[in-house]
């Protein structure tokens, strides 16, 4: 879980800082106060000054040698790994979903119009990244995603900051039943609570408000056929960004209503 917190300063300015909860990838164990044990301990008369100056450093050389040896023992990975069973290739996902995504002109004037990144998702576990707090049980979450016959997703992030002010996701399912279940289920109860979105879009519409570290973020989630759209706006904790999310969602839904279904 992560979130941005703000504290007001005496002169009227504000100081914002990010709180992050780190966990191991497979077992989901907390790392706070524990850290990550090294795979190999090296010793020697190393010094930061030698490394920065480009001089020989025995401790650094020992660590580098061990790392290169592990690389020689590990088979090289393919540059393009195949998509998991049931999902589309990254190229197909981008081709099918990019026409439904947001453009900078869809956002209100300002710095947030700068789109600084996008992601093509082809693995179920990637759905728990970025737009909400992690699912309580990663294994169960991935089973639900597979049962819904999720085929891939396309995510965009607009504006600077962590989290970014605007995030847009478009996900594709093999049929409408899977998309319907995705919209009507809250997969992230520890980070989101249901709220009245105040708007009707597509075939199904729900709204969410961030809780805990995600306070200040809001989401509008809706479905058109087997497509599921998510628009998130992140404001400072205690502020409501629902109007911002709704305005962008309405623009995207109006365009999707006239587009050819994938």
Maximum Cα interatomic distance, the chain, rounded to a whole number of Å: 68
- Torsion angle of C-alpha atoms 163, 207, 99, 90, degrees rounded to 10: 60
What gap in Å lies between CA 215 and CA 1, rounded to an integer? 11
Please list, in sequence order, all residues whose beta carbon lies within 8 angstroms of the beta carbon of residue 215, skipping any fewer than 6 positions away. 3, 237, 238
Which among 160, 126, 163 has a CA at the least distance from the CA of 141?
Answer: 126
pLDDT digits (tens, 9 = 90+) for 248-262: 999 999 999 998 888
Neighbours of 225 (CB within 10 A): 16
What gap in Å lies between CA 20 and CA 175, rounded to an integer? 36
Tell me: pLDDT of 85 over 80.
Answer: no
pLDDT digits (tens, 9 = 90+) for 161-215: 777 889 999 999 999 999 999 999 998 888 889 999 999 999 999 999 988 777 8
At 170 the pLDDT is 97
Please list, in sequence order, all residues whose beta carbon lies within 8 angstroms of the beta carbon of residue 201, skipping any fewer than 6 positions away. 220, 222, 229, 249, 250, 253
Tell me: pLDDT of 76 over 70.
Answer: no
Neighbours of 25 (CB within 10 A): 8
Q: Which domains does the chain have, with CATH numbers?
A: 2-73 (no CATH), 90-257 (3.40.1000)
pLDDT digits (tens, 9 = 90+) for 224-246: 999 999 999 988 776 778 888 99
Average pLDDT over every residue of 99-124: 84
Least confident of 30-34, 216-220, 231-235: 30-34
At 70 the pLDDT is 82
Tell me: pLDDT of 114 over 80.
Answer: no
* Residue 34 pLDDT level (bands cut at 50, 70, 90): confident
At 1 the pLDDT is 46
Q: What is the mean pLDDT of the chain?
A: 83
What gap in Å lies between CA 224 and CA 56, rounded to an integer? 61
Q: What is the DSSP string of 65-90?
A: HHHHHHHHHSPPPPSSPPPPTTS--H
At 146 the pLDDT is 92
At 216 the pLDDT is 83
* Residue 132 pLDDT level (bands cut at 50, 70, 90): very low
At 178 the pLDDT is 96
Residue 54, helix vs strand vs coil:
coil
Q: Where does residue 50 fall: left (phi above 0), alpha (psi -120 to 50 degrees), or beta otherwise? A: alpha
DSSP classification of residue 27: T
Alpha carbon 189 to its chain centroid, in Å, reads 16
What gap in Å lies between CA 2 and CA 191, rounded to an integer? 9
What gap in Å lies between CA 218 and CA 240, rounded to an integer? 8
* Residue 27 pLDDT level (bands cut at 50, 70, 90): low
Q: Where does residue 79 fall: left (phi above 0), alpha (psi -120 to 50 degrees), or beta otherwise? A: alpha
What gap in Å lies between CA 197 and CA 234, rounded to an integer? 15
At 141 the pLDDT is 86
pLDDT digits (tens, 9 = 90+) for 49-63: 776 776 767 777 888
């Amino acid at each position: 879980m992560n979130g941005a917190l703000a504290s007001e300063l005496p002169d009227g300015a504000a100081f914002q800082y990010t709180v992050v909860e780190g966990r191991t990838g497979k077992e989901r164990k907390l790392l706070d106060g524990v850290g990550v044990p090294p795979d190999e301990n090296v010793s020697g008369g190393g010094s930061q000054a030698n490394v920065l100056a480009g001089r020989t450093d025995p401790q650094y050389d020992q660590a580098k040698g061990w790392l290169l040896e592990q690389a020689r023992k590990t088979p090289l990975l393919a540059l393009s790994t195949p998509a998991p069973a049931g999902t589309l290739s990254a190229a197909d996902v981008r081709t099918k979903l990019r026409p439904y995504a947001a453009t900078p002109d869809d956002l209100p004037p300002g710095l947030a119009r700068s789109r600084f990144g996008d992601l093509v998702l082809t693995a179920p576990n990637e759905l728990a990244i970025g737009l909400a707090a992690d699912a309580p049980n990663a294994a169960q979450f991935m089973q639900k995603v597979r049962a819904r016959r999720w085929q891939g997703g396309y995510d965009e992030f607009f504006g600077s900051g962590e989290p970014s002010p605007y995030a847009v996701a478009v996900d594709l399912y093999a049929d409408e039943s899977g998309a319907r279940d995705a919209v009507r289920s809250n997969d992230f109860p520890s980070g989101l609570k249901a709220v009245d979105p105040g708007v009707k879009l597509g075939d199904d519409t729900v709204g969410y408000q961030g809780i805990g570290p995600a306070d200040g973020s809001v989401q509008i989630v809706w479905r058109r056929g087997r497509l599921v759209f998510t628009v998130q706006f992140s404001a400072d904790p205690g502020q409501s960004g629902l109007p911002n999310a709704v305005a962008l969602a309405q623009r995207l839904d109006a365009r999707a209503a006239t587009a050819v279904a994938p």
